[in-house]
C-alpha cells in the first residue's frame, strides 16, 4: 500500500507486510490454483542407473509441465512489475517536485511551527482561567522542564508536518495504488477481496504506518538538528537500529492486526514441521496457521521472533494447495532464514547500503539546497520542509541501486534454499513449490532479468538446485 507515502517507512524498516492488499473472509478466490504435476520422466532418478540422471534435462522437463497459457500469464504479471517500478518512481518524483515547486511543503512547515505556539497559548489561557498561571510559569522556569518542553515542541512540529504530508500524498497516489494493489491483483487472480474491505484495511495499515513513520521522523530530525554535517553517519545508525526493532516486532505485533493466528492442530502436518525445528535447535513447541486465504491466493510462511517469542507460521493457502513434501520444503526454507540469522544479516547489509546512500544524499541535498533552497523555502537539513527533497534524492538513489538490493535478497534466499533442501530432503517438493510460486513470478527469465529484477531465485534456478541435490544422492549416514 502507498509505496510513495510510506517511502521512508519501507526504506528504513522494511515493513513490506503493510504494503500488501488485505482481503476479507466473505470474498472468493478469483482464480483456480495451478494444476498439480507429477515428476516428469526426465526428473525421476533411477536408483539402478543414477549416472544417467541429467539435472539440466530434469530442470527443463519440470518447467515444461507448466501449460503455455499459464506461463504467458505469469510472465505478463511479473514483467508488468518492471514497469510499475518505473512508474512508481516517476510518480514519486512528480509529486515531490510539486510539493517543492508550489512551496506547499514550506506552508506545511509554517503550519507545523505555528501549532506548538497555538497549543502553548491555549494552555496559558486555560491556566489563567483556572488561576494557576503563576504556578505554571514557575514550572516553566525550571531548566529541565524547559529542555523537555523544547524537545516536545520540536517533535510536535515534525509530527504536525508529517501527518498532512502523508495525507496529501495519499490522495495524489490513490489512482495508481488502487490499480496496482486492487484491480491488477484481481486481473491476475491473486486477490480474493472486494473493494470496500480492501479500502478499509488500507486505511488501517495507513494509520499504523503513520504512527511508526512519525516516530521515526521525530528521531531522525533530532539527529539532523544535532549533527547537520555528520547526520548521514548518525542517521545510518538510527535507521539501522529502527529497522532491527521493526523487523522483530512486525511479525509478532503488527501482522496479527490484519490476520488471525491459530495453532495448527493436524498432527500429520504439525509434527513433521516441529521435528525439523527441533533438529535445528529452533525453540518452538507449536505451529500457527494464518488465515491469509481471506486476502490472497499466494502461499507463504515464516519463522520469526526473539527472546522467547519465536513463532513458526504458515498460511492456510499453503495447507490447501500443497502436499506434505511441498509444505516441508517451504518450512525448511523458512527455518533456514532463522537458523542462518538472515534477518540480522540483511539489516546489517542494508545498513552498509544506507551509509553509502545517506552519504551521497547529504552531498546532493546541500547542493540542491544552495541552488533552490530559497525558492522552495528550505532552511536546511533540519527543516521538515526539506523532507520532499530528501525523499526525492533517496528515492532516486535507491531506484538506481535496485539491482544491488535485489541481489542481496536473492543471495540470502539462495542460502535458505540450500539449507531447506538439506533439511527437508524433498527435491521434488521443492520443484513443485517453485512451479507454484511461478504463478506470480517469472519461471525462466534471462540472466540479466534475474540479476536486475529478482529478489528471489527464479523458478528455474530453484528447480536446478533441487535436481542437482537429487543427482548427488546424499546418504543419511551409518545408522548402526
Q: Is 399 exposed, middle or buried (0-12, 13-18, 19+ CB in 10 A)?
A: middle
- pLDDT for the residue 34: 61
Give the three-state DSSP class for 82.
helix
Statement to judge: residues 286 and 145 lie in one domain: no
Statement to judge: residues 159 and 122 lie in one domain: yes
Statement to judge: residues 228 and 274 lie in one domain: no
Give the three-state DSSP class for 310.
coil
Q: Binning pLDDT at 50, 70 and 90, where does residue 326 land?
A: very high
Percent of the chain surpassing pLDDT 70: 88
Statement to judge: residues 114 and 190 lie in one domain: yes
Report if residue 51 sits inside a domain.
Answer: no
Give the three-state DSSP class for 287.
strand
- pLDDT for the residue 51: 85
The 10 Å Cβ neighbour count of residue 256 is: 13
**Among 382, 398, 414, residue at a domain's last position:** 398
Average pLDDT over residues 240-269: 88
CB 124 within 8 A of CB 136: yes
| pLDDT tops 60 at residue 7 | no
- pLDDT for the residue 246: 84
Report if residue 64 sits inside a domain.
Answer: no
| pLDDT tops 50 at residue 29 | no
- pLDDT for the residue 237: 94
Statement to judge: residues 300 and 422 lie in one domain: yes
How many domains in the chain? 2
Residue 253's contacts (CB-CB under 8 Å, 6 or more residues apart) are: none
Statement to judge: residues 138 and 274 lie in one domain: no
Q: Binning pLDDT at 50, 70 and 90, where does residue 3 land?
A: very low
- pLDDT for the residue 390: 96
**What pLDDT digit, counting tens, does each position of 446-456 carry?**
999 999 999 99
Average pLDDT over residues 64-71: 93
Q: Is 135 exposed, middle or buried (0-12, 13-18, 19+ CB in 10 A)?
A: exposed
Residue 382's contacts (CB-CB under 8 Å, 6 or more residues apart) are: 221, 224, 225, 228
Report which of 273, 338, 289 is spatially closest to residue 310, judged by C-alpha positions.
Answer: 338
Higher pLDDT pick, 130 / 464: 464
Higher pLDDT pick, 480 / 287: 287
What is the grid cell recorded at 342? 538472515
Question: d(Cα 290, Cα 293) in Å, to the nearest integer?
Answer: 8
- pLDDT for the residue 16: 33
| pLDDT tops 50 at residue 13 | no
Q: Dihedral sign for Cα 90, 95, 101, 106, please.
A: negative
CB 286 within 8 A of CB 325: no
- Structural domain for 130, as ranges: 7-30+103-239+344-398
The 10 Å Cβ neighbour count of residue 141 is: 9
Report if residue 43 sits inside a domain.
Answer: no
Report strand pairing: 287-290 vs 311-315.
parallel
Residues comprising the chain, all counted? 480
Average pLDDT over residues 88-108: 95
CB 105 within 8 A of CB 164: no
Q: Binning pLDDT at 50, 70 and 90, where does residue 2 land?
A: very low
**What pLDDT digit, counting tens, does each position of 159-218 carry?**
999 999 999 998 999 999 999 999 999 999 999 999 999 999 999 989 988 998 999 999
Average pLDDT over residues 249-263: 88
Report which of 84, 314, 88 is spatially closest to residue 185, judged by C-alpha positions.
Answer: 84
Statement to judge: residues 436 and 308 lie in one domain: yes
pTM of the model: 0.87
Cα 194 to the chain's mean position, in Å?
23
| pLDDT tops 80 at residue 35 | no
Question: d(Cα 286, Cα 244) in Å, to the nearest integer?
Answer: 25
Average pLDDT over residues 322-333: 96
| pLDDT tops 60 at residue 476 | no
- pLDDT for the residue 278: 95
Residue with grid cell 514550572, as numbered in its chain: 139
| pLDDT tops 80 at residue 26 | no
Q: Binning pLDDT at 50, 70 and 90, where does residue 305 land?
A: confident
- pLDDT for the residue 124: 74
Q: Binning pLDDT at 50, 70 and 90, where does residue 381 land?
A: very high
Higher pLDDT pick, 249 / 202: 202
Report if residue 49 sits inside a domain.
Answer: no
- pLDDT for the residue 24: 36
- pLDDT for the residue 46: 85
Statement to judge: residues 146 and 208 lie in one domain: yes
Mean confidence (pLDDT) of the chain: 87
Strand order in the sheet with 287-290: 261-263, 287-290, 311-315, 301-304
Statement to judge: residues 198 and 336 lie in one domain: no
Report CA-CA distances (Å) from 107 to 41, 114, 146, 255, 314: 68, 11, 27, 36, 47
Average pLDDT over residues 357-374: 96
CATH number of the domain within which 339 lies: 3.30.2010.10
- pLDDT for the residue 343: 87
What is the grid cell recorded at 46? 533411477
Average pLDDT over residues 141-161: 80
- pLDDT for the residue 136: 65
Report if residue 56 sits inside a domain.
Answer: no
CB 139 within 8 A of CB 195: no
Q: Binning pLDDT at 50, 70 and 90, where does residue 148 land?
A: confident
Report strand pairing: 301-304 vs 287-290.
unpaired
Q: Dihedral sign for Cα 467, 472, 476, 480, please.
A: positive
CB 401 within 8 A of CB 353: yes
> b or e along 19-47 (b: 16 or more beta carbons within 10 Å of the residue's beta carbon)?
bbbbbeeebebeeeebeeeebbebbebee
Statement to judge: residues 274 and 324 lie in one domain: yes
- pLDDT for the residue 8: 45
Report if residue 232 sits inside a domain.
Answer: yes
Report if residue 44 sits inside a domain.
Answer: no
Residue 213's contacts (CB-CB under 8 Å, 6 or more residues apart) are: 6, 8, 9, 162, 166
Report if residue 466 sits inside a domain.
Answer: yes
Statement to judge: residues 12 and 125 lie in one domain: yes
- pLDDT for the residue 130: 74
Statement to judge: residues 352 and 337 lie in one domain: no
Amino acid at each position: 500500500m502507498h509505496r510513495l507515502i510510506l517511502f521512508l517507512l519501507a526504506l528504513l524498516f522494511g515493513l513490506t507486510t503493510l504494503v500488501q492488499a488485505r482481503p476479507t473472509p466473505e470474498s472468493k478466490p478469483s482464480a483456480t490454483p495451478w494444476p498439480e504435476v507429477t515428476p516428469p520422466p526426465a526428473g525421476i532418478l533411477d536408483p539402478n542407473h543414477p549416472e544417467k540422471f541429467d539435472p539440466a534435462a530434469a530442470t527443463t522437463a519440470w518447467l515444461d509441465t507448466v501449460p503455455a497459457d499459464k506461463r504467458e500469464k505469469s510472465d505478463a504479471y511479473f514483467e508488468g512489475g518492471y514497469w510499475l517500478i518505473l512508474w512508481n518512481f516517476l510518480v514519486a518524483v512528480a509529486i515531490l517536485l510539486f510539493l517543492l515547486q508550489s512551496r506547499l511543503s514550506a506552508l506545511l512547515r509554517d503550519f507545523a511551527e505555528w501549532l506548538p505556539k497555538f497549543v502553548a497559548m491555549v494552555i496559558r489561557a486555560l491556566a489563567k482561567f483556572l488561576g494557576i498561571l503563576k504556578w505554571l510559569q514557575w514550572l516553566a522556569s525550571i531548566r529541565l522542564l524547559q529542555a523537555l518542553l523544547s524537545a516536545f515542541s520540536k517533535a510536535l512540529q515534525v509530527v504536525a508536518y508529517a501527518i498532512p504530508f502523508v495525507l496529501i500524498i495519499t490522495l495524489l497516489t490513490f489512482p495508481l495504488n488502487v490499480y496496482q494493489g486492487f484491480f491488477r491483483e484481481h486481473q491476475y487472480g491473486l486477490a480474493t477481496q472486494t473493494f470496500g474491505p480492501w479500502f478499509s484495511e488500507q486505511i488501517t495499515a495507513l494509520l499504523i504506518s503513520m504512527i511508526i513513520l512519525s516516530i521515526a521522523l521525530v528521531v531522525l530530525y533530532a539527529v539532523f538538528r544535532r549533527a547537520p554535517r555528520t547526520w548521514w553517519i548518525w542517521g545510518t545508525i538510527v535507521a539501522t537500529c529502527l529497522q532491527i526493532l521493526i523487523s522483530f516486532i512486525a511479525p509478532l505485533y503488527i501482522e496479527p492486526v490484519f490476520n488471525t493466528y491459530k495453532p495448527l492442530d493436524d498432527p500429520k502436518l504439525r509434527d513433521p514441521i516441529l521435528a525439523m525445528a527441533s533438529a535445528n535447535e529452533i525453540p518452538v513447541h507449536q505451529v500457527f496457521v494464518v488465515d491469509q486465504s481471506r486476502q490472497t491466493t499466494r502461499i507463504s510462511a515464516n519463522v520469526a521472533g526473539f527472546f522467547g517469542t519465536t513463532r513458526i507460521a504458515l498460511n492456510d493457502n499453503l495447507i490447501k494447495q500443497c502436499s506434505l513434501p511441498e509444505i516441508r520444503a517451504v518450512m525448511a526454507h523458512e527455518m533456514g532464514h532463522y537458523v542462518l540469522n538472515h534477518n540480522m544479516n540483511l539489516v546489517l547489509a542494508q545498513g552498509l547500503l544506507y551509509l553509502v546512500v545517506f552519504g551521497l544524499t547529504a552531498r546532493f541535498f546541500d547542493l540542491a539546497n544552495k541552488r533552490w533552497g530559497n525558492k522552495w523555502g528550505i532552511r536546511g537539513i533540519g527543516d521538515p520542509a526539506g523532507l520532499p527533497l530528501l525523499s526525492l534524492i533517496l528515492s532516486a538513489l535507491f531506484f538506481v541501486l535496485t539491482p544491488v538490493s535485489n541481489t542481496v535478497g536473492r543471495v540470502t534466499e539462495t542460502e535458505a534454499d540450500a539449507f531447506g533442501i538439506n533439511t527437508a530432503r524433498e527435491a521434488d517438493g521443492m520443484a513443485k513449490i517453485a512451479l507454484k510460486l511461478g504463478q506470480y513470478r517469472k519461471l525462466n527469465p534471462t540472466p540479466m532479468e534475474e540479476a536486475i529484477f529478482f529478489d528471489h531465485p527464479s523458478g528455474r534456478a530453484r528447480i536446478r538446485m533441487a535436481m542437482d541435490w537429487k543427482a548427488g544422492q546424499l546418504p543419511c549416514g551409518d545408522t548402526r
